[in-house]
Structure 1
Amino acid sequence: MNSFVPQNPTDGAYVSRETGPVPAVEFSLRATSDPYVSRETSQWQGDAAVSEGVSRETDVDIAPSSSDYGVEFDTPIARAARAAMTVRGHGEEVWPRPERCRVISVANQKGGVGKTTTTVNIAASLAMHGNRVMVVDLDPQGNASTALGMERTPESRSVYHCLVEDEDLRSLARPVEQIPNLWCVPATIDLAGAEIELVSLVARESRLKRAFAAYDESELDYILIDCPPSLGLLTVNAMVACEEVLIPIQCEYYALEGLGQLLRNVELVKSHLNPALAVSTIVLTMYDGRTRLASQVADEVRSHFGDLVLKTLVPRSVRVSEAPSYGQSVMTYDPGSTGAVAYMQAAREIAFRANAVVGH
């Protein structure tokens, strides 16, 4: 066992029997003006300059920027930090806002392809970069409402009361905590019975579109509608109320089955109820680069749909799956994760298409 004994009681240095004298170093508490550093965690910094023989990664002063030493930090932690700051909207790039409100339905009658996850995280990304966004949860499961931290009780007012009871949509929209400029119109289990109740109502296919009239086009930049995994009256209402359809496609074989039926339904709604409707965006989700099948599906979708497919591939991510259990999107839960960065890039593509798509 290595032991130390005083070399001289008055010189303040210590000597090791194995390694010889070790010079003493005085430390002083360095005050910090950074508001994000608490007084309890203020850094300690040596009075002496950092020697050339000590790695900068092990320097006890964690506050200085890379410019203090004339080098750029390029470590995994630094890269993750930069990605997180970009996701949170602290980058230098300014995202464009559309000339008028874009209403987008996120639809696919197959379940488990990432409709809700895509809706929530793209909405959060757009809001974090200066856009005013409202999410309308039209799925009776209410997963988008959960992911955005909305309270859902049997007494809660929801989009059901707008569709069936003609309640003002503006009174149902609630702000999302932690994300300014983002609102959510939640769903409750009552919505499960709306399909039947809508059958007997006048103009049953356009009740959601009429509800959107409560907002002027200049009040919001985006309205994203999370559709249920079916092609019933709720999905038809969404397609009548919007001009764009965003289709998430899982990078697996089964995801391609049924896609033709969805496109046929879009054409039916377009020809009979909403001539302005079009599929504007396709997002490839749950991509696993380790499998050849995922690459084949991605290539097949791109060859068939061309520029409608976003360049960004959304990978499988544990963080994306964990976030809803904390009532958050992955953009606030873990902004440096691969899933958050991918959804931010996907939202950026959608934003930069804004003026080209609106008025197509």
Structure 2
Amino acid sequence: MKKIAFYNNKGGVGKSTLAVNIAHALAKVDYKVLLIDLDSQNDCSLMLGIDRNQERKSFYDLINPHSAANIKECIIEARENLDLLPNSKYEIIEKEFNNNAMFLTTLLDEKLAGLEEMDYDYVIFDCSPSRSIINSAILFFIDYIFIPVQLEIPAIDGLATIFDYLEDLRLDFAKIKLIIPNMYDSRTNEGRENLKMLEESFAGQEIVTNPVYRRIKITEATKQGKTIFEYDEEAQKQLYPIIERVVEID
């Protein structure tokens, strides 16, 4: 079971969109995937066409000391081979994590006990764009970090703060397996120059993927509660090389 976090401490980089679409892509090639939404916006449900206001158990019920929920009760079947563990009451989750801060390195091992027996090939976290106690627990728990980055100078410069975060947590930079340039516009000099800058910054490390182009079809799919693999055959093709990279990671 490979555990992956989609993380960037800057919002608006398309992190949730990539997490949902890559999770569905893996499911479509017969991997069993669990997507855990721990973004404060809870956008994964919206992007998968699931009513966020419907009464159901969520990650909150797993960490609520007054709840007897087990993980199977909190998981929704979103697509064939793709399950979703949504969240609710994010502020209370954060408070509970703060109450257990001394156990942060193993907190999710306890809260997500039972995952290993559920035969998932991939467990994918969609994280909030912040440096938070919840994200710290996730980063201790996962094997790999994927960083979506918008091809703008502030976003590229901001990557340094992610490395600072890992250093403060005493986590190995090798956890960062992919940096995914997102919302790329090849028609502009700025877009081309920023992509070149990003690639040169990580030259020799082989962690920068092919860029994901800015496409209106991706936005349209999201608004309709569909993934790009259910909406537009042409737009989905640009994700194929990234999926290949994901599958190849040991």
> Is TM more than 0.5 here?
yes
2:181 is equivalent to residue 284 of structure 1: yes
**Equivalent residue runs for 1:4-19 within 5 Å:** none
SS at match of 1:127: helix
Contact 1:114 1:248 survives alignment (8 Å): yes
| Counterpart amino acid of residue 119 in structure 2 | E
2:219 is equivalent to residue 219 of structure 1: no
* Among 198, 201, 206, the residue aligned to 1:301: 198
SS at match of 1:104: strand
Larger displacement relative to structure 2 (341-350 or 221-230): 341-350
Contact 2:63 2:96 survives alignment (8 Å): no
Q: Distance in 1 between matches of 2:87 and 2:220?
A: 21
SS at match of 2:35: strand
Are the structure 2 counterparts of residues 244 and 132 from structure 1 closer, same or farther at C-alpha, using a change threshold of 3 Å? same
- Residue equivalent to 2:238: 342
Q: Distance in 2 between matches of 1:300 and 1:277?
A: 21
| Counterpart amino acid of residue 172 in structure 1 | C
| Counterpart amino acid of residue 215 in structure 2 | S
SS at match of 1:262: helix
Q: Distance in 1 between matches of 2:123 and 2:10?
A: 22
**Equivalent residue runs for 1:39-50 within 5 Å:** none
Structure 2: tracts of 5 or more residues without a match:
none
The Cα of 1:186 is off from its aligned counterpart by: 1.0
2:80 is equivalent to residue 187 of structure 1: no
* Among 33, 45, 48, the residue aligned to 1:133: 33
Structure 1: tracts of 5 or more residues without a match:
1-100
- After the TM superposition, which parts of structure 1 deviate over 4 Å for at least 4 consecutive aligned residues? 274-277
The Cα of 1:218 is off from its aligned counterpart by: 7.3
The Cα of 1:319 is off from its aligned counterpart by: 1.1
* Among 162, 169, 191, the residue aligned to 2:71: 169
Q: Which has the larger radius of gyration?
A: 1
| Counterpart amino acid of residue 191 in structure 1 | Y
Contact 1:245 1:278 survives alignment (8 Å): yes
TM-score (norm 2): 0.90
- Residue equivalent to 2:215: 317
Are the structure 2 counterparts of residues 276 and 285 from structure 1 closer, same or farther at C-alpha, using a change threshold of 3 Å? closer
- Residue equivalent to 1:328: 226
2:147 is equivalent to residue 238 of structure 1: no
Are the structure 2 counterparts of residues 277 and 289 from structure 1 closer, same or farther at C-alpha, using a change threshold of 3 Å? closer
- Residue equivalent to 2:59: 159
**Aligned residue pairs, count:** 245
| Counterpart amino acid of residue 342 in structure 1 | Q
The Cα of 1:276 is off from its aligned counterpart by: 9.2
Q: Distance in 2 between matches of 1:294 and 1:196?
A: 40
The Cα of 1:122 is off from its aligned counterpart by: 0.5
- Cα-Cα RMSD: 2.0
2:97 is equivalent to residue 198 of structure 1: yes
The Cα of 1:155 is off from its aligned counterpart by: 3.4
Contact 2:104 2:136 survives alignment (8 Å): no
The Cα of 1:208 is off from its aligned counterpart by: 2.2
Contact 2:182 2:211 survives alignment (8 Å): yes
SS at match of 1:171: helix
The Cα of 1:324 is off from its aligned counterpart by: 2.1
The Cα of 1:217 is off from its aligned counterpart by: 6.4
SS at match of 1:282: strand
- Residue equivalent to 1:113: 13
- Residue equivalent to 2:44: 144
Q: Distance in 1 between matches of 2:192 and 2:87?
A: 35
Give CA-to-partner distance per residue, 1:20-71, whole Å, 9 cap, x none.
Answer: xxxxxxxxxxxxxxxxxxxxxxxxxxxxxxxxxxxxxxxxxxxxxxxxxxxx
Contact 1:102 1:223 survives alignment (8 Å): yes
| Counterpart amino acid of residue 174 in structure 1 | I
Give the share of equivalent positions with the same residue, in percent.
Answer: 26
